[in-house]
Amino acid sequence: MTEGSSLIRGLEGVVAAETALCDLDGAHGRLAYGGYDIDELARQATFEEVAYLLWHGELPKAGQLDQFTIALIAARPIPDALAKTFALVPKKTDPMRVLQAAVAILGMDDPDATDNWRAANVRKATRLTSQMATAICAHHRIRQGQEPVPPARDLGHAANFLYMLTGQRPSSPAAKAFDASLTLYAEHELNASTFTTRVVTSTQSDMHSAVAAGVGALKGPLHGGAGEAVMHTLFEIGEVANVDRFSEQAVATKRRLMGFGHRVYKAGDPRAAILRGMAEEACRQSGQFKWYEMAVKLHERINAAKGLIPNVDFYSAPLFYSLGIPVDLFTPVIAAGRIAGWTANIIEQYEDNRLIRPRGDYVGPKRRAYVPLRSR
């Protein structure tokens, strides 16, 4: 370790890059993409508009959005070889492992795979955003013994995802709620998976390799897996009447509950507040309101006892479940939104690149002489 430097565990608070993508004000609980507040984007913009904003720095005009939407729709089909690969995967394989492999396979088929110039990277980002959604849904249906649902050309990105997953065209409120959730997950500064994509990119590797690495980082339960854990907690509680007893036991045993707290936000995660309202409506419309009621009551009890505030994954769990998304697909769904931010960060890293290579603080034995095998 260099003289005068100090260890910062987990790189907490370390500024590792300049970015024009995401303005995260943890002290005041605010988040903005490219200067636009997340609340306005989630409620008024579409995911397509947000992806365009992240890649180009400005919201699209009508004609630009039309062209961009056409490009996304054209990119939805996945290679036949990838669908055949899904059929060979053991049915119990974690969908995130399958998604990581799928991204790598898509790189083998992409005509711009090794071209790291901006125009090629935007084309790859467009293809990956559409193809990852199709791949997630195709794999799920194949593992269920069903045929994949071909992408619809007349549905927006979020609605098409739900259609490919369930085979049913979603209602407008359901599609809007899912669209907003993709926007809320689209970008979040240098979180673990995004930083991973930047590290890989800094070696001048390609976009598909960087995204595959990002999928691997998101798979971890301390990052993208929190939503799954929240839903399993709600399953464990079972009924609204059981929340009080569960909360008391959790506090008494110092049980760690996923979905509460955040490394950066000190005044609350603004995304959680937005998703709470959307989860309420989606759960009510789907006839599964008890999951929302349980989440709210658990939130209140844990907050009162320990002062912990939910993060984005807490209310995304009942929302996703009410939309018919299987629990083990919650994290792949986050990846389907975060791909917009991952690729935007990759493009930004290429444009002002320096190899990311931190130091380690050595705490092992002092220098010592080698002892021949016969003398040990």
Q: ∠189-192-195 over CA atoms, to 5°?
A: 65
Q: Which of 110, 112, 206, 313 is catalytic?
A: 313
Please give the Cα distance from 256 to 250 (Å, whole number). 8
- pLDDT (0 to 100) of residue 331: 96
Q: Which of 139, 157, 188, 262 is catalytic?
A: 262
pLDDT band at 226 (very low <50, low <70, confident <90, very high): confident
- pLDDT (0 to 100) of residue 4: 57
Q: ∠318-319-323 over CA atoms, to 5°?
A: 110
Evaluate whether 192 touches 217 at the Cβ level (below 8 Å): yes
Contacts 24+ apart (CB under 8 A), 232-241: 232/327, 233/257, 233/258, 233/259, 233/298, 234/291, 234/294, 234/295, 234/298, 234/317, 234/318, 237/294, 237/298, 239/290, 239/294, 240/290, 240/293, 240/294, 240/297
Fold equal for 21-220+329-351 and 226-322: no
Q: Give yes or no for residue 3 having a pLDDT over 70.
A: no
pTM for the model stands at 0.93
Please give the Cα distance from 1 to 50 (Å, whole number). 41
Q: Which residues, in sequence order, are bridge partners of residue 310?
A: 260
CATH architecture of 226-322: Orthogonal Bundle (1.10)
pLDDT band at 265 (very low <50, low <70, confident <90, very high): confident
Q: Is 223 a catalytic residue?
A: no
CATH architecture of 21-220+329-351: Orthogonal Bundle (1.10)
Q: Is 313 a catalytic residue?
A: yes
pLDDT band at 225 (very low <50, low <70, confident <90, very high): confident
Please give the Cα distance from 292 to 89 (Å, whole number). 34
pLDDT digits (tens, 9 = 90+) for 60-79: 999 999 999 999 999 999 99
Evaluate whether 286 touches 234 at the Cβ level (below 8 Å): no
Q: Give yes or no for residue 1 having a pLDDT over 60.
A: no
Evaluate whether 19 touches 348 at the Cβ level (below 8 Å): yes
Phi, psi values for residue 42, rounded to 5°: -65, -35
Domain ranges within the chain, ordered by starting residue: 21-220+329-351, 226-322
Pair of tokens at residue 177: 């709620």
pLDDT digits (tens, 9 = 90+) for 121-142: 999 999 999 999 999 999 999 9
